[in-house]
Amino acid sequence: MATETEHGEIEGFGQVSRTVGTVFRYLLIAATMFGIVTLAVLLVYVANDAIRPLTAGPGWYLTYFFTLVVPTLLVGAYVRTRDRAAFSFGVFLIGLLVVSLMFSGGVGLLVVDVVPPLVALSFALGLAVPAAVAVVLTRNSHRISFTTRLVATSLAFYLSLFGLPGPIGDAAGLPQVVPSFVQFVQSIPVIPVDWMMVAAVVGGGSAAAVGAYVAGVRDARSGLYAGLAAFAVSVASAVVGPFVGLNPVPAVVVTAVALVPTSTYAWRGAFGEDGTPIGLGFAATVVGGALVGAAAVEAFGFAGPQSWVDWQFLTSSHSGSAVDAGLYPAIGGSILLMSTVAALSFPLGVGAAVYLEEYAPDNALTRFVDVNISNLAGVPSVVYGLLGLGVFVTYLGQSAGTVLVGGATLALLILPIVIISSREAIRSVPSDLRQASYGMGATRWQTVRNVVLPEAFPGILTGTILALGRAIGETAPLIMIGAPNVVFSLPTALNSKVSAMPLQVYAWSSLFASEDFYTKAVPAGVVVLLAVLLAMNSVAIVLRNKFERTG
Amino acid sequence: MSTDELETDLTRQTENSPRELLTRTFFFLCAALSIVTTISIVVLLVTEAAKFFTITAPLMGVTGETASLVDFLTGTTWQINSGEFGVLALVSATLMITIGSAVIAIPLGVATAIYLSEYASQRARSVLKPALEILAGVPTVVYGFFALIYITPALATVIPQIGTFNMLSASIVVGIMIIPMVASISEDAMSAVPDDLRQAGYGMGATKFDVATGIVVPAALSGIFSSFILALSRAIGETMAVTIAAGSRAQFLNPVNPASFLEGSLPMTAAMVQLLLGDITGGGLAYRSLFAIGLVLFVITLVMNVISDFVAQRYREEY
């Protein structure tokens, strides 16, 4: 096609100069690097302001150099030359430990300050019992018709969560006759100690996950043993915790959420089939080096960097002076907002994607929905904020700036992204699989549930996590729905006022603008926000890579 | 599942069983939510904006204070306290951010796309593409802080008369933010150019430079233009970076005069945030002006997205 326009160049045939090409090439490289280098420089500046590595003494650096850096380099080089797979397993293991520790911090925040252990326990039981009923009903699905099962399952959940006659009766003014199972649990006179309830809920959940994982890679019996062992370890940690300076509840949470899953993965990677124990050795060197370094620094009394990102910053709330200001309510707010956003946007987004890919007839309406979704993805976030303000706050009468309104607004904002990425994941499922399923007489829903969704799940999950990463950095919609700039306590319910990490950073950098905040609290907040984003994105990337290898 | 279970399952489940209908309805409702969202946005913006203007307010049953539609669209002063709502002051600031970020993002983005699609090795690409994605992934509030605290002082050492809040640093960070968008869409368009064309070029004795600039770029032009429009529509809707870095005092600036980039002004999105932070009563004039700006913003970005789609579809070279 382009031959006419090529006239100029073609006339210059025979006078080829390498200079132009080389200069052009280097210009392109420079252009590509410009944005990356600029951002890298800015990140170095902000990290320097927040962490202040230059304030640490030479003794501190020397100690860590000998306990952490040298062993890591030596063992790392050795493991890498011996077995590359083992090396990447070791690196992955360290990453897993770091990310799961961050995650356990979030869970700990939830069970310590947001949800009282008794309420958590009652709701866990209140959901587990009807779920068990549903499983039993599904097992016997060939004997009971679908409608009966649906009614029975809904009834079980309703009874367990609301009792009789529940909210329906409230509307008609009827008194509560039968208390719900949740209320029943909460009214039991003998209340176990907090850490026992936390161990039951969090430890039970983690033990179930570990058990299911081991049962998947080995067999059901080892899965059961592994689950029991995991639960025992979680419970034991509450007893051991106080001896190493941890309260029982945080000890249980850290063990159940971070240590147990990481060690399960480490055990399998090191001693399972095709295991690589030296990879575990590398991870142990790094973690051990860090611990030994910390102990040595403590023993010799070397001063570390006077970082603004410290325990005080992470656990205190806003203050008029930048040195005392902290991010705690904002971190908790972000966690609650993200939970709400995930709970709303995941089912809705995946549902819409399934409809458009598997069910929708090829007609004008479908094409309209299609165009509509891609246009919604381009609507500025501040307009979504207006939508939240106008619809949820003004018309539906929700109070401004609550977890529910913020979560719903952000969920609408990322819904198009979730739909688009889920559609891509669903589209990449080979149609052979679908045809095989239909060929065996499966209905559309059976095909979707048993073939399409399991195949597409890693891709859907990756897309959802990336979308959540976008939502966690959004500030404008939260301002529009009237989220307060300063919150001094964690939100404890869906209708309590919420702040979020980016909102707090914005408040510090514009409403409390002063040299003090610019150089202390804001850089620290930025570093924490970016660290959370980095953790989320690396989880998504690891999932994507795993998915691409197998898929 | 044992055989008889399978059999009952297979014989009973048809496309019209209650379960199929229920799941189908659920999925359909999920998809329909996107239409509901769009309709809510449009209805909300139009009705609330209509309550703002003198000419349409009586239709909506509003009796309180209103503003003139003509003044809104042609006025160049934005002073809420004195009741002057001239949106052109805000539009000029938004236009400056758009021009400024385009000057940065368009050449750099296209050059990045050419490098990634024509020059980079597989290995370099696998490193550079995620690195570029990070540029778009950093929260915009962080970019705003960077612009205010690091970029403006750095610029002040070169241009001493620059203000604390200025359009230049805001444009720079918005430009950096949208580079990945230009680069990835343009690169997709360039990668879609068939290899035959490149081979034909080499066969005629063209150098790599000739092929990249003379064959690949013209062949991918529609995709490149559509990436410009999409990225600029993103720049227009960008909120936090400009709110923090561009200032809070609305003034009408000449967008094509480079000197005005040294001053601060109030882009549309920043004006919306500022309105919200002030004392705003639901239903008041300031509250309704929010939706009037929102409508202008929504219409501009929607039109740009539609044009971008149109360009990509209409002028695509079919191979």
Supply φ then ψ for residue B53, to 5 degrees. -90, 140
Q: Is A378 in contact with B230 (Cβ distance < 8 A)?
A: yes
Least confident of A191-200, A233-242, A501-510, B44-53: A191-200
Range 381-410 of A in CB contact (< 8 A) with B: 381-383, 386-387, 389-391, 393-394
Compute the nearest-CA separation of A283 from chain B (Å): 25
Mean pLDDT, residues A403-427 taken together: 94
Tracing tokens 């994507």 back to the chain, one arrives at A544
CA distance A460 to A24: 40
Task: Identify the helix (H) or strand (E) that includes residue B78.
Answer: strand B78-79
Give the residue, A525 or A247, on which the prediction is more confident.
A525
Q: Is A6 in contact with B214 (Cβ distance < 8 A)?
A: yes
Compute the nearest-CA separation of B121 from chain A (Å): 12
Sign, Cα dihedral of A370, A374, A379, A384: positive
CA distance A250 to A107: 9
Q: Is A146 in contact with B19 (Cβ distance < 8 A)?
A: yes
CA distance B169 to B164: 10
Q: What counts of helices (H) and strands (E) characterise chain B?
A: 16, 2
With beta carbons under 8 A apart, name residues in chain B contacting A505: 141-142, 145
pLDDT in tens, B178-236: 999 999 999 999 999 999 999 999 998 888 998 999 999 999 999 999 999 999 999 99
Q: Is B33 in contact with A348 (Cβ distance < 8 A)?
A: yes
Strand, coil or helix: A360: coil
- Return the residue of A nearest to B317 by Cα: A1
Give percent above pLDDT 90 in chain A.
26
Q: How confident is the model at residue B8 (pLDDT cuts 50, 70, 90)?
A: low
Q: Report whether A241 contacts A252 (CB < 8 A).
A: yes
Mean pLDDT, residues A516-540 taken together: 89
CA distance A228 to A214: 12
CA distance B310 to B319: 18
Q: How confident is the model at residue B10 (pLDDT cuts 50, 70, 90)?
A: low
Tokens representing B143 are: 């970019």
Q: Is A533 in contact with B137 (Cβ distance < 8 A)?
A: yes
Nearest by CB to B141, from A5, A349, A505: name it: A505
pLDDT at A119: 83
Distances (CA, A) of A206 to A100, A101, A230, A266: 12, 14, 8, 16
pLDDT of A1 over the 50 cut: no
Tracing tokens 């404008």 back to the chain, one arrives at A476
Supply φ then ψ for residue A224, to 5 degrees. -60, -45
Compute the nearest-CA separation of A399 from chain B (Å): 12
Q: How confident is the model at residue A3 (pLDDT cuts 50, 70, 90)?
A: very low
Strand, coil or helix: B85: strand
pLDDT at B282: 61
Mean pLDDT, residues A536-542 taken together: 87
Mean pLDDT score across all residues of chain A: 85
Q: Please check whether residue A152 touches B, CB under 8 A.
A: no
Mean pLDDT, residues A254-267 taken together: 87
Q: Report whether A169 contacts A180 (CB < 8 A).
A: no
pLDDT at A424: 92
CA distance B63 to B54: 10
CA distance A166 to A410: 31
pLDDT in tens, A285-311: 888 988 888 888 888 888 888 888 888
Strand duo B84-85 + B78-79: pairing: antiparallel
pLDDT of A4 over the 70 cut: no
pLDDT in tens, A86-144: 888 888 889 999 999 988 888 888 888 888 888 888 888 888 888 888 888 888 777 77
Nearest by CB to A39, from B149, B176, B210: name it: B176
With beta carbons under 8 A apart, name residues in chain A contacting B180: 35
Give the burial class of B156: count Cβ atoms within 10 A of its Cβ; 0-12 exposed, 13-18 middle, 19 or more buried. Answer: middle
With beta carbons under 8 A apart, name residues in chain B contacting A352: 27, 30-31, 33-34
Quote the Cα angle for A49-A54-A60, to 5°: 130
pLDDT at B152: 92
Neighbouring-strand partners of residue B78: B85
Least confident of A3-7, A146-150, A288-292, B80-84: A3-7
pLDDT of A463 over the 70 cut: yes
Tokens representing A480 are: 């529009």
Tokens representing A13 are: 């045939």
Q: What is the largest CA-CA distance in chain B?
A: 85
Q: Is B20 in contact with A444 (Cβ distance < 8 A)?
A: yes
Q: How confident is the model at residue B318 (pLDDT cuts 50, 70, 90)?
A: low
pLDDT of A484 over the 80 cut: yes
Q: How confident is the model at residue B42 (pLDDT cuts 50, 70, 90)?
A: very high
Q: Report whether A333 contacts A494 (CB < 8 A).
A: no
With beta carbons under 8 A apart, name residues in chain A contacting B111: 27-28, 31-32
With beta carbons under 8 A apart, name residues in chain A contacting B281: none
With beta carbons under 8 A apart, name residues in chain B contacting A386: 41, 44-45, 272, 290-291, 294
Q: Is A147 in contact with B18 (Cβ distance < 8 A)?
A: yes
Mean pLDDT score across all residues of chain B: 87
Amino acid type, A536: M
Q: Is A473 in contact with B138 (Cβ distance < 8 A)?
A: yes
ipTM confidence: 0.90
- Residue A401's nearest CA partner among A479, A501, A472, A344 is A479
pLDDT in tens, A369-410: 988 998 999 899 999 999 999 898 888 888 888 899 999 999
Nearest by CB to A445, from B20, B32, B116: name it: B20
With beta carbons under 8 A apart, name residues in chain A contacting B213: 24
CA distance B288 to B60: 12
Mean pLDDT, residues A451-457 taken together: 91
Q: Is B197 in contact with A28 (Cβ distance < 8 A)?
A: no
With beta carbons under 8 A apart, name residues in chain B contacting A390: 44, 48, 291
Q: What is the CA radius of gyration of chain B?
A: 25
**DSSP letters along A140-196, please?**
TTTTS-HHHHHHHHHHHHHHHHH-BSHHHHHHHTPPP-B--HHHHHHH-S-PPPHHH
How many Cα atoms occupy the beta-carbon half-sphere of B284 within 13 Å? 12
With beta carbons under 8 A apart, name residues in chain A contacting B294: 382-383, 386
Amino acid type, A422: S
CA distance B148 to B151: 6
CA distance A500 to A337: 8
Q: How confident is the model at residue A344 (pLDDT cuts 50, 70, 90)?
A: very high
